[in-house]
Amino acid sequence: MDSLTKHDPYADALPPIEKYQAMYNEAKSIRGISLWQDAWRRLRRDWVSMTALSFLVLLALAAIFTPLFPLQSPREQDLANRLALPPEFHSTTKRANADGEKETVPVSLKLKHLEGEEFDRRVSELWTDPTGFDKLLLNTRLLIFGDYCLPSLCGTDLLGRDLLSRLFYGARVSLIVGLVATLVSLIIGVSYGAIAGYSGGMVDDFMMRVVDIMYSVPFIFLVLFLITILSEDDVKQWLESYGISRIVILYIVIGAVYWLTMARVVRGQIISLKNEQFVDAARTVGASGLRIVFLHLVPNVMSIVIVYLTLTIPAVMLFEAFLSFLGLGVEAPAVSWGVLAEEGLKVITPVKIYWWLVVFPALALASTLYSLNFLGDGLRDALDPRMKNR
């Protein structure tokens, strides 16, 4: 045996145990990362996308915690200081002093000495029946700031209402409309497109012809028609008896129109994936068609869906602003950025232009739309495997 081993040509090629241990340690130190981890790492390198993401996060937090800030009431009218310029920082009611002269006093909520039902009634007047969460934030705000309110840094409107406060509260409605309507389109579009793409054949043809027919109908006129019909007094009272308000109708109608492109995008991706090996493996172990679609195929197209969502949200928000501009969107006393822009346009005359009533709502809307588009571009590049090493 010794002679055989001595003359074995492969004996000297066998590496020692130390070499195996070094290779094992090196392999153990290497850790793979998922698609989402790699995408987040690349997204952080894009300062434009990160700036947009930071702005959107701050905007969302500001919208959620708006009642916590020392803002004036978005509803209370102060006709003594209507259409006040922003640089004048009116803060605002004027009263006569001991000498009979007018003096400006700070705006106050006038809640400090109210209790019980009177307190609740005053709060409802100032904030349009706030929710329990809003009341909690308002009570916290009263503990921190008392009755103090910020001056009208963005001026006042035709009825003397603080524009800064209405911008903050309008952000809540505009963002919620954009998110909820986009979520409706996501659920309908992804489900419809995934089922059509996986089924194939006559089912796919029929489902896509339905989409083509709906595409041929001008969706703006369709939405206007639906909202007009649902806003009729009889229909409106019937819907309100079930707790469905006009803003809920707005969510559903806009979302029910914007799912068509989502369905086409998802269908194309599902068709390219349904013959892959992981789908055959799932089918081999007895997985049902719905399980394969929603647990195996849909998660693999979520990267594209998320990118498309970041481009759909600004389109939905812009469409809501357009409907509110026409008077078919959010109803008073609720307020959105589109409502504010529409109110600002009403007071623009050849004699005088009250620029702040249009500039600030338009600036808020434009900043949000630009941020969403920049974030969508960054996500598209971060989730594209072809740009991994660029």
pLDDT in tens, 264-284: 888 888 988 888 888 888 888
Closest to 313 in 3D by CA, of 25, 4, 60, 5:
60
Tokens 């963005």 identify what position? 154
What DSSP assignment string belongs to 98-153?
Answer: TTS-EEE---B---TT--HHHHHHHHHHHHTS--HHHHHHHHHHHHHHTTB----T
Token pair of 382 as six digits = 């971060």
Exposure of 297 in the CB half-sphere (CA atoms within 13 A) = 32
The dihedral built from the CA positions of residue 215, 217, 221 and 224, taken in this order, carries a sign that is negative
The pTM of the whole model exceeds 0.85: no
Residue 108 CA: distances (Å) to CA of 161, 229, 231: 13, 42, 37
Task: Identify whether the C-beta of residue 158 lies closer than 8 Å to the C-beta of residue 82.
Answer: yes
Helices then strands, counting H and E runs in the chain, come out as: 17, 2
Instruction: Kindly indicate the confidence band of residue 16, based on its pLDDT and cuts at 50, 70 and 90.
Output: low
Query: Quick check: 25 pLDDT over 60?
Result: yes
Residue 101 CA: distances (Å) to CA of 79, 145, 171: 18, 29, 39
CB count, 10 Å around CB of 153? 16
Phi and psi at residue 257, in whole multiples of 5°?
Answer: -100, -35
pLDDT at 57 (0 to 100)? 92
120-173 per-position pLDDT tens digit: 777 777 777 777 888 888 888 888 887 788 888 888 888 888 888 889 988 888
pLDDT at 112 (0 to 100)? 67
27-36 per-position pLDDT tens digit: 666 666 666 7
DSSP 390: -
Return the bridge partners of 102, or none. Answer: 96
Task: Identify whether the C-beta of residue 166 lies closer than 8 Å to the C-beta of residue 76.
Answer: no
- In whole angstroms, give the CA distance from residue 225 to residue 212: 20
Q: Which residues of 211-239 are buried (b: 16+ CB within 10 A; e: fewer)?
A: beeeeeeebeeebeebbeebeeeeebeeb
CB count, 10 Å around CB of 273? 17
Question: Mean pLDDT for the chain?
Answer: 77
Token pair of 226 as six digits = 């639906």
Least confident of 168-182, 279-293, 322-336, 346-360: 322-336
DSSP 351: S
The whole-number average pLDDT for the span 233-253 is: 74
Query: Quick check: 389 pLDDT over 70?
Result: no
Token pair of 157 as six digits = 């409107």
83-122 per-position pLDDT tens digit: 777 755 444 444 444 444 444 555 667 776 666 677 777 7
4-13 per-position pLDDT tens digit: 444 445 445 5
